[in-house]
Structures are given as structure tokens and as C-alpha cells.
Amino acid sequence: MQALQILIDGFAISCLYALGAIGFTLMFGVSGVLNLSHGAIMVVAAVIAWWMGASLAVDPYTGALAGVAASLVCSFFTYRVIVRPIQTSSAIPREEKEIFVLTGTLLWGIMLQEAVSYVFTNNPKTVRPLVNGVVSLVGIRTPWNELVTAGVSLAAIGCLYLLVNRTRTGKSLLAASMNPRGLTLLGFELTRIYVLVWAIYGVLTGIAGVLLGAFLGVSSDNAGTLTASAFSIVVLGGLGSVSGSLIAAFVVGYLETLTAYLVAPSIRTVPVLLLLVAVVYVRPQGLLGRR
């Protein structure tokens, strides 16, 4: 009985983690940017969806769309105002661009977080779920919301898979992650590809944020933790490897759920951190990473 419960809960949380981390890893794979404002953007999406539902009393679908739109806006803003100026700046030496992007996005994440906490307070908020009610799944009472979370996450990941592997635009993304210079020689505009990546990133992160808000609830204080968990999943799977991140998300999701159910909820993140350290020591490129 408990095994089934763990299986179902772990599955939902793992799908959500996968969705949350996949935009992050795509971004790194294609444009080499580690966006440390990731968690804050998720929080913005969730809080906007919550606010639309709670204050403007719109239906959950409109609220969710508004949340995703907010995430998209944040994503473009991050690119245009912070990442791009640093990448094109001539005053910053090439080998230090990485740390500047990290510091810049970190600061931007703090700004977003503080802005959210100023306008909407830092109380935990739960987005109204898309579907209410409970369903009995092989004898386990499971909220519909949990299944919707898993379903939407998987659907979004599936769409990304089709986009990247089946469309011309998607294939150019893949090519940019392998050899950006080769792509420019073929006449592709790299900037347009980067803008596209940030758009995809914004949508994925927005969906993840809204689902998270409906499933577990968020507070502006969570932004740092969310970034850290996305970062851990991505490194565990191998930086830039989308399938690695998927596997890693399931490893982390189930490990956390198992710890929470079988040991104690208070130490749910500890085994993950230990595993992460071990993997990074033994296999620095992550599970499926290429160096």
C-alpha cells in the first residue's frame, strides 16, 4: 500500500522536477548560460497565476496562462537586459563571462524575488488547481491535481522532444548546442536561435512554476531552493543533456519521496545532496554528460 503511494507521489514530483530542470539544461546546452534566476522566474509564474485567481477571480486556465506569460516576459527580460549585454560586452574578458552571467542572473533573481515579496508578501501561496477532486487509483486516493501535474509535465516535455527532433527550427537548436560556429557558417542567425531558446525556456519554466504552485504551493522565499534543485538535477544528469536531466529528475524525485516516507520528511534533501557529491566526484560530467 505504502509502496504504491510512494510510486504515485514520487512519479508526480519527479515529472514536475523534470519539467523544472529541462528548461535550465536546454538553456545551458544551447547557449551556455546557467540562469541563476531560474527559481525566481518559477515563483513569478506561480504567484501571477495565484493572483489572477485570487484577486481577479478568473478561471484557473486563464490564471495559468497569465502565469506562463509572466514567465515568458521575465525570460526575455533576463536575456535582453542581463545576459546579452554581458555576452557582447568588450570590457569583460572572455574567460570571465561565465561568472558575470552567473552573478548577473543571481542578482536579477534576488530582485525578482524581492519584488514579488514586496508586492504579494512572502506568505506561501497555493494556485487554484486546474482540476479538483480525488480519484481512486488502484486503491490509493490520489488528487486529480497530482495526476494533472504529472500529465501536463510529461506532455510539455513530449512537445519539446517533438520540437527539437522533428522540426527544422528545433534541429537548428540542437545544432547550436553542438557547434554554434558551424551553424553560423550555414547562414543561421545565432541571435535568433538564442531568442527562441529563451522563449522555449520561458514557457517551460512558466508551466513548471504554475504546476508547482498548484501542487506544493510556493513562497518568494523558495526561489533560491528551486534554483539549487534545478541546478543539482541538471548537474546530476550531465550539463546540457536533456535525457540525462530526465533520468536525474526521477532519481531525485523518488529518492526524496522514499526518504520522506521511510525515514523522516525533515531530511528529505540530504540523501540527494550526498548522492550529488558522490556522482560529481566519481563522474564529474554527470550521468549522461559529454564534456
Residues that bind another protein (CB under 8 A): 28, 34, 82, 85-86, 89, 91-93, 95-96, 98-100, 102-104, 106-108, 110-111, 114-115, 117-118, 224, 228, 231-232, 235, 239, 266-267, 269-270, 273-274, 276-277, 280-281, 284
Report the alpha-carbon distance of residue 12 to residue 10 in Å, rounded: 6
Show the CA angle centred on residue 143, arms to residues 215 and 149, nearest 5°: 40
Nearer to another protein, 73 or 92 (CB): 92
Angle in degrees, 0-180, between the axes of helices 38-54 and 2-31, rounded to the nearest 10: 120
Residue closer to another protein, measured from CB, 35 or 257: 35
Q: How far is the CB of 281 from another protein (least distance, A)?
A: 6
CB of 177 to another protein, least distance (A): 15
Q: Is 140 or 287 the residue whose CB approaches another protein more closely?
A: 287
Provide Rg for the chain, Cα atoms. Answer: 19
Least Å distance, CB 204 to another protein, is 20
Toward another protein, which CB reaches closer, 63 or 238? 238
Q: Which ranges of 121-189 does DSSP label H, i.e. alpha helix?
A: 144-166, 168-178, 180-185
Q: Please tell me the distance from the alpha carbon of residue 43 to that of residue 234, in angstroms, as a whole number.
A: 19
140: CB partners within 8 A, 6+ apart: 1, 4, 5, 8
Q: How far is the CB of 5 from another protein (least distance, A)?
A: 25
> In terms of residues, how long is the chain?
291
Nearer to another protein, 101 or 214 (CB): 101
Least Å from the CB of residue 118 to another protein: 5
- Cell numbers placing 183: 551553424
Minimum Å gap between C-beta 51 and another protein is 18
User: CA distances (Å), 209 to each of 59, 86, 226, 227, in order?
Assistant: 17, 27, 10, 12
With respect to another protein, which residue has the nearer C-beta, 80 or 171? 80
